[in-house]
Structure 1
């Protein structure tokens, strides 16, 4: 997926200074962003007050949208560097193409995982014959310095492990490990991403790692997370120091649990690139503009996205406020 802002703000993330070492309740407010043609998303990370959750550094929630008479998601070829993208659907389909030659339709509860490493480009679109509804989340995971120049790769996993608990909980492990179940998706830092389905009347507790920080994103229905009621599209940052998480739902509901070991390295995020310096970002933009390094996405009907102009001042760490 892409950040399609025409004037993207540089965002500095990482480090442990802003990580809560104890359980907290911090409700994150989304901002609305237009993604390509016809898809509006709610951007929850990066947020003005919270930039990362573990290595998770970018979260868009979209839908459910009725696209029966529309083209649906249409995101032209664009580059990525220094990160992984995670496609996760509850309704609909997304057709992924990339510069490695991958061509894959991702469907609900299947993992589409792209590791950009040093450089990759891809496009995302709703297939011509698509379902009526489109509903899902697109997320980025920051790669640590030791792996950010690794070879690009794409993975598709249709069969993911499931954790079932008493009280009506069914958890699909998207990435990482949860309660002993391990996703086949490749990770480079200790983290977890899970899709939690809560049946009406659920009242249970989910085991967590106290050394991880966590956040919960409500996908549908109304859930109660550690006593806080969340409407769809809401994200609650939970901090560290938790051994378990109380969950309740009066109706059938779903949420995503994101967590991980706090990301120690400071990173600079601009447009679709993650680097460590202004020079990293500027070189990536030049390489995309000159059609080098990122390869070519074949088969997409349309031109690639042009890169926005860089800010007039060098990108550098600026703390939590923009």
Structure 2
């Protein structure tokens, strides 16, 4: 999925300096933006005060949207470098195409994982015949330095491992490992992505890694996370230093738990590229606009997205919070 805003701003983040070594509560307010077609998203990362959670560097939450009589999602071909994209649905389906020749429909609680590495381009849209509701999240993971130029790849995992408890919790392991259960999705840094379903009246404590920092995105229902009430679309940054996370729900609810070892490197993210220097970003933009390096997405009925104009001042990698 792309950042479709025509005036892309440099997003300078990373490093461990702004990661609290203790539990905390930071409510991250969303910013609403149009993604293409009929899809409006709530952008939760990057945020004014919090730009990363582990290697997770971008989070969009969209829906539930009634698209029964609408075309739904329509994101033209666009490039990526230096990151992985994670497509995650609770309702509906998204058709993924990329420059490797991949053509895959991703459905609820199936993992669509694209590793951009040195360069890839892709497009996403709702299939012509689609479900009436569209609800999901699009997430990006920054690749650490030794792996940011790996060969591009796409993975589709329709059957992911699940952990459950008698307290009314059922969790799908999107990426990483929890409770001895590991996702088949490829990762390049210590992280966790967990889709948690809570039944009405659930009151549980979820084991977590004290060395990871975490954030929770509420997808549906009304929850309390570490005692903090959250409505759908809310994201709470939790810091680190916990061994368990209290979760409760007054109705059936769903949330995403995102966590990871604090990302040690400072990175620059501009438009759909993750790099370390202004030159990295400039070279990627030039390659995309000249038709070099990113390949061609076949079969999409529409033109590729042009890259925005680079800012006048050089991009510099800095810390992860303002």
> TM-score category by the smaller chain?
over 0.9
Are 2:28 and 1:32 aligned? no
Structure 1: 5+ residue stretches without partners: none
Are 2:99 and 1:102 aligned? no
Q: Which residue of 2 aligns with 1:2?
A: 2
Relative distance call for 1:217 and 1:134 in structure 2 (3 A) is same
Q: Which residue of 2 aligns with 1:148?
A: 148
Size of the alignment, in residue pairs? 322
Equivalent residue runs for 1:1-322 within 5 Å: 1-319=1-319
Deviation at 1:261, TM superposition (A): 0.2
Deviation at 1:62, TM superposition (A): 0.2
CA distance in 1, matches of 2:316, 2:212: 27
Deviation at 1:117, TM superposition (A): 0.2
SS of the aligned residue for 1:146 comes to helix
SS of the aligned residue for 1:287 comes to helix
Deviation at 1:179, TM superposition (A): 1.3
Contact 1:48 1:320 in 2 (8 A): no
CA distance in 2, matches of 1:250, 1:234: 16
Deviation at 1:317, TM superposition (A): 3.0
Structure 2: 5+ residue stretches without partners: none
Contact 2:218 2:254 in 1 (8 A): yes
Contact 2:213 2:260 in 1 (8 A): yes
Relative distance call for 1:81 and 1:10 in structure 2 (3 A) is same
CA distance in 1, matches of 2:115, 2:233: 26
Deviation at 1:166, TM superposition (A): 2.3
Q: Normalization by structure 2: what TM-score?
A: 0.99
SS of the aligned residue for 2:269 comes to strand
CA distance in 2, matches of 1:275, 1:321: 17
Deviation at 1:318, TM superposition (A): 4.8
Deviation at 1:178, TM superposition (A): 1.1
